Structure formats: structure tokens, C-alpha cells
Amino acid sequence: MAITREDLISQSVYDFVKAGVVARGYDAGKVEFRESFPYTVEEEQLSRSLVCVGFSFDNGGTPGELGSNLRLREYTIELFIFGKDQGWGRNLASAVKFTLDADGRIPVLNYADLAKPVIDYLVVESVASERQVIPDPEPYQENVWVVTAKVTDEYYADAV
Amino acid sequence: MPQPDLAGFADAQARLRDGFGELVTFRSAPSETYPPGTPLDPETGKPYDVTIVPTASGASEWIVKCDVAFRAINRAGIGGDSNPTPAGLFEESHIMLIANSAAASAAASAVQFDVRGDTFKITSRKFDGVGGVQRHLTYGRKE
């Protein structure tokens, strides 16, 4: 199987956010989740708000302890919220932020297994939301917020 | 007050399409089959493992006769390809197909279409008409 550790982390964070936000009452009629940043939206005006995974990068990792290959790698995962209006954008960004914050950790699921068992946890270091001002926006880009989550993965380098 | 001949209007439009329409190939999203037991992402329908190749794939196609219309460029300009025609400057990235209402249902599950040598992604569709529904509009954007 060629599912990397980072694939598992990205997918786990996305599924965690989606499940948590839906559990807060934001169902499919109100919010649509997308696994990638929408470079085009074929609508003049959004009929519902969007939550999309934007960009993901890491800090390169640091040694976890002397004498072993334990690594601590901090991932920065950005989620873009396209609100159908200003109120929705702000509200949904808060819902995403507090969903990520809620437990202080995010389960890492093994997507190579059909049962998707929990194999590890990510530590949530920080979650911040910020409005993005886009010059000359398309209609769907007028109410954009970015929620930036920093999570730390602790792993043995030879095990991934 | 004379009643408008809506049936005659619809019939005239249908005959116009029959005479001047173009054959458009509508295509559904490709369906892919993966080896049994492959964990699939429920959102995309694709495997989490990007290296797994489908064991079979294919898309359905339908051919429907449609009128083809492009959008005229406004003064501010629109991004995309444009082409000067006797009727003015037209933007060819966006296109609209006009089909008979009955014929449209044949392509209801299509996600893209081919016309005039280009492939367009379907962005929206709706029924339209005067005094009732007489035709079906499909909007596309060049892929």
C-alpha cells in the first residue's frame, strides 16, 4: 500500500472536522465539504457555504529524543471557509475552529484498513481563524475565512 | 384578445433545431472499478491509495441534436477564448446548448459534452420556454 503517513494525517483531520461540524448541526443543506481548494466555483452566488482543505505543510520535524529515531513533526493544515454571506463565513469559521480545538487531539485513522481503526493521535497545538481579503473577488470569494490548525505528529521514523 | 399559438411556437423551434441544430455528444462521469477490498474515499469514489489503478473504467455517451449559442463579449471583456464572427465578438469558453425538452432527459446524467471539436464541462442546466416548457438549456464551460 502506498498511503503515506501524511495522507493519513490529512484525511484524518479532514474527516475529524467534517464529523465535528456536522454534529454541531451544520448539515449538508447548509454546508458542503470539499477535499480540495476550489479554484473555480460555477455559481454566481453560493447557495450554501463551503469548507475546503487548502494547503498543508510541515516544519521539517525535530528529533524527539536522543538515541532513537523518534520524530516530532508539526503539520500546518489550512481550511478555507467560503461563506455564502459574511455572517455564515464568520460563524462557520468559528465552528471549524472550535471543532478542531474540542478534544486537544485528533485521532489518526488507518485508511488502508476498511474498518479505519484509530492507530494514533495528533496533538493540537493551535487553531486560529482569520478573514482573507481577496482583491477583485469572484462572487464566491467575498466572504472567505481561513482556519489554520497546527498539529504535532509523534512517530518512529522507521515505522512509517 | 387573440390567444398566442404556443404549440405552434414550440413546433417552429423544434423544426428550427431539426434543420440547423448540431449533433452534440454528452458523456457521463467515468465509472471505475477497483480490486475487491480496496478502501475507497466515499466522497471522491477513488482509493485512498493513489497508486491503485482501476480494473475497468468507462463512460456512457448520448448524442443529442442541439442549437449552439455562445456568449457575446461585453465591453469590459470576459476572460477566455474569443472569436470574431459576422454577429460580433463572441466568447467561446462559455457555451449554451438548446435542446428539445424530451431529448434533454437522455443526457440528464451527463457531466460534459463535445461540440465543435472541444470538450465542455456542464455547469448548469434548466428547462425554459414561453408560456410553458418547450426546451432545455445546458450551460457549459471549456475544460
pLDDT in tens, A39-74: 767 666 788 899 998 888 999 999 999 999 999 999
Distances (CA, A) of A99 to A105, B87, B133, B137: 11, 55, 47, 42
- Dump strand ranges (E) for chain B: 22-28, 31-33, 56-58, 61-72, 82-85, 88-100, 110-115, 118-128, 135-142
- CB A151, CB A5: distance < 8 Å: no
The nearest alpha carbon in chain B to A18 belongs to B43
Nearest to A35 among B44, B49, B51 (CB): B44
Listed range (A1-5, A32-36, B38-42, B83-87) with the worst mean pLDDT: B83-87
Task: Please state the rounded mean pLDDT for residues B56-61.
Answer: 84
What whole-number distance in Å separates Cα of residue A4 and Cα of residue A112? 10
What whole-number distance in Å separates Cα of residue B103 and Cα of residue A37? 35
Instruction: Please indicate whether residue B92 or residue B97 has the higher confidence score (pLDDT).
Output: B97
pLDDT score, position B80? 58
- Classify residue A158 by its DSSP letter: G
Q: Is the pLDDT of residue A139 over 90?
A: no
Would strands B22-28 and A105-109 be described as parallel, antiparallel, or unpaired?
unpaired
Interface contact B76, partner A, CB < 8 A: no
Contact A2 B49 (CB under 8 A): yes
Listed range (A57-61, B15-19, B53-57) with the worst mean pLDDT: B53-57
pLDDT score, position A131? 95
- Classify residue A135 by its DSSP letter: S
| Burial environment of residue A78 by CB neighbours within 10 A (0 to 12, 13 to 18, 19 or more) | middle
pTM over 0.80: no
